[in-house]
Chain A
Amino acid sequence: MIVSPDAAKLDAEVDQSLLDWYRQLSLVERLRAASRSAALLERLRRAASTDR
């Protein structure tokens, strides 16, 4: 695979400690965390669009 300079920069920006934390979660815990985060982000997005 060819890795562009931009891709290499993005690779370097991956938060390894966040990966460590997330990998401690079980499969089901990961699903729950992702769903809760998505719901919160969506509520924030809608609130932000209302506040404009």
Chain B
Amino acid sequence: MPHPPTADLEALLRALSTAGVKFIVVGGGAAVIHGAPVTTLDLDIVPEQSAANVERLLGVLTSLGARFRPIRPGRDIAPAASHLAGTGQLNLTTSLGPLDVLCRLHDARGFAELAPAALRLEDDGLELLVIDLDSLIEIKSSTGRAKDQLVVPILRALRDRR
């Protein structure tokens, strides 16, 4: 059965959280959590990269049938622990939709650098670490991507309301 083209954000986050995976939500999902009325096709996370956490993350990805996307004839590759422990950005497809595992952001920050300022949030049994709004604005402003530039004014408006 083909994987869905868009992410079920809640289901993906619950799968990761329930398995005890340590990660920080970044990207469009973080914008949504901060209160931006936007949509996103995929979930972006930055994982903590201890051996135990990589193992937990790999377990979830395996259970969700994760593959590098796009899947093409001759290119049907499952992520491995070595990928999750590296520095790359893994664009995956899962049974709950697209999931991007960003071992480092484009500015080279990883879990350790983002965690001190990250927000710990909880709702309906779902506990999350989310990138702080200032860092999210900084990152979205610096990617040079048109879709990120459109979200930045909304994030700034949210910051101005604090």
Interface positions of A (Cβ within 8 A of B):
1, 7, 10-11, 13-14, 16, 18-19, 21-23, 26-28, 30-35, 37-39, 41-42
Beyond contacts A28-B10, A32-B10: 15 other A-B pairs, Cβ-Cβ < 8 A, are A14-B154, A19-B37, A19-B161, A26-B124, A27-B33, A27-B124, A30-B35, A31-B10, A32-B9, A34-B29, A35-B9, A35-B10, A37-B39, A38-B6, A42-B5
Query: Which 5 residue pairs of A and B lie closest in terms of their CB atoms, listed nearest first?
Result: A27-B123, A38-B39, A22-B37, A10-B153, A31-B9
- CB proximity of A9 to chain B, nearest CB, Å: 9
A11 touches B157 (CB 8 A): yes
Number of interface residues of B (CB under 8 A): 34
- Would you give 18 A-B contacts (Cβ < 8 Å), ordered by A? A1-B141, A10-B149, A10-B150, A10-B153, A13-B153, A19-B158, A21-B37, A22-B37, A23-B161, A27-B121, A27-B128, A28-B123, A31-B29, A31-B33, A32-B9, A33-B37, A34-B29, A39-B4
The answer, yes or no, to whether B61 is at the interface (CB within 8 Å) is no
Within 8 Å of chain A (Cβ to Cβ): is B7?
A: yes
Cα–Cα, bound, A19→B155 (Å): 10
Decide if B40 is an interface residue (CB 8 Å cutoff): yes
- Distance from A18 Cβ to chain B, minimum over Cβ atoms (Å): 5
User: Residue A34 contacts which of B38, B121, B149 (CB distance < 8 angstroms)?
Assistant: B38
